[in-house]
Amino acid sequence: MQKARIAARVVLVSGALFVAWLLAVWPPPVWWRTHDPRCTAMMRIRSGCRTVGRSDRRADQRSASPLLERIIIIAEDSRFKTHHGIDFIELRDAWAAGGHRGASTITQQLAKNLYLSPSRSIFRKLKEAVTALRLELALNKDRIMTLYLDVAEFGPGIWGVNAASVAYFGVAPPQLTDAQAAALAATLPQPRASNPAFRPARMLARRDLILARYYGGKTPVPPINEDSIPEIPEIEPPILPVIPADTVIDSLVHKP
pLDDT digits (tens, 9 = 90+) for 135-188: 999 999 999 999 999 999 999 889 999 999 999 999 999 999 999 999 999 999
Taking domain 26-45+52-253, whether its CATH number is 3.40.50.800 is answered by no
Percent of the chain whose pLDDT exceeds 90: 46
Domain boundaries, the chain: 26-45+52-253
Q: What confidence score (pLDDT) does residue 20 get?
A: 86
Mean pLDDT value across residues 82-89 = 92
For residues 74 and 185, is the Cβ–Cβ distance under 8 A? yes
What burial class does residue 125 get, using C-beta atoms within 10 Å of its C-beta: 0-12 exposed, 13-18 middle, 19+ buried? middle
Best CA proximity match to 188, nearest among 251, 105, 252 = 105
- pLDDT of 115 above 50: yes
Q: Judge whether residue 207 has pLDDT over 50.
A: yes
